[in-house]
Structure 1
């Protein structure tokens, strides 16, 4: 086949395979990243999309290097599937940029950590943690069984409230392992607080010193989970933008090389 003589087309396919591996690696990292392992279902589509891109690229390789008459169908599949997958990747990036726009964080005077509110996130993210009670129950159970708050409770360095307030808590620790600061609870330990007679916020009434409950039902905990997902999602987006731009350039260059080789 004439395509076999085009080293340019082959090089483009090879580099596109590298881009696909980058997408897969980003998706796997996103799927197993710490701090948000209880929401894995929201993160694996990236790896799946990368796998589809790799399969389309391999189909292009097979079609270019096979002398079988049906090999042209593999090339046709590659030339049709790859732009469709790139479009899906672009749509995903635009969607991710929109839904991760708000951070939900607000600073506190005298605190080294931020606290988080649901209304600071996009409607889609809020719906993910609030729209399905069964989904949140699964996430809540996972969080209660994880080391997120247990590790914080074991911190021996937090002897006084001032030491705790100067610590750099993760969004999940800030939202799930302690009551919101506006509740005015008294500090006893990282996950043990004294409850005042009245509290201004709904989350305040949901707090419990029970290690299996803490603030896992609080909106602040949901917001902390979203803040963690958002941070990781935006890191992945950087790699995906690089991969997407590279895929578009390589696909166009490879298509031109293929057409020239056919002449």
Structure 2
């Protein structure tokens, strides 16, 4: 008699297979139609994820529905490795995002960000010229500072200073508070004479394509946003881990059932 666990594994893998189709299609679309560096950067991982989900779901589906024990065994091995990798990544995500936070500035609604406050591993990811050039290109293409300038263009200095800016807006779209530049508009500041202790003050430029995209504060602002995103992903991963463990347990039952069914059919054949 066909077991409930086999039916459940079959249904779950049909759903996974159907989900893999739009994921794979999205990867192929990005590969052919992607214009910006950001879009092209995502195409290969998305294609790999789509193919991986499709192959694994097919293995689980055929193994459970056709009672092919060796396919179910492969499916369970892959699932086990996925659980281990996801668990390790979740722990790693919590560890590398444990350090770093914005610095509250007196009489300002926004915070300032320092690269040295974040974990060494994260700092290395943005300090490399090759990596940062790609990230910088993404920031420019996303028009994060253009939208920022349009949103606050009518603000007087006092109004602007009271705004609650995102970490990327604060770090990349305006000069550091250390520079004491004179505010003209959100992305237009007049440089003042003086000795600057913060190297970002010399890096700032009013050119919309430059601004503070090469500043340490911009890298720190990005890391702060990344830190928040990774923590959210880690929480989702915990939920996903629980689901994977349940599916893996059901898969083990289906594997045991398939072996019993095959052994029973073998005895009948004999």
Assess same fold via TM > 0.5. Answer: yes
- Unaligned 5+ segments in structure 2 are 31-36, 261-270
Q: Does 1:136 align with 2:152?
A: no
- Unaligned 5+ segments in structure 1 are none
Give, in whole Å, the separation in 2 of the partners of 1:194 and 1:226.
28
Q: Does 1:208 align with 2:180?
A: no
- Matched residue, 1:55: 55
Give, in whole Å, the separation in 2 of the partners of 1:145 and 1:158.
24
Give, in whole Å, the separation in 2 of the partners of 1:54 and 1:234.
28
- Matched residue, 2:73: 76
CA contact (8 A) 2:145 2:169 kept: yes
Of 171, 174, 178, which aligns to 1:175?
171
Instruction: Specify the SS of the correspondent of 2:206.
Output: coil
Instruction: Specify the SS of the correspondent of 2:151.
Output: coil
Of 252, 263, 266, which aligns to 1:255?
252
Deviation for aligned residue 1:223: 1.0
Cα distance change on mapping 1:88 and 1:53 into 2, 3 Å:
farther
The alignment's C-alpha RMSD in Å is 3.2
Cα distance change on mapping 1:127 and 1:237 into 2, 3 Å:
same
Deviation for aligned residue 1:219: 0.3
- Matched residue, 2:185: 189
Residues 1-263 of structure 1 aligned to structure 2 (within 5 Å): 5-12=2-9, 14-15=11-12, 38=38, 41=41, 52=52, 55-66=55-66, 71-130=68-127, 132-155=128-151, 158-198=154-194, 199-256=196-253, 258-259=255-256, 262-263=259-260
Deviation for aligned residue 1:116: 1.3
Q: Which has the larger radius of gyration?
A: 2
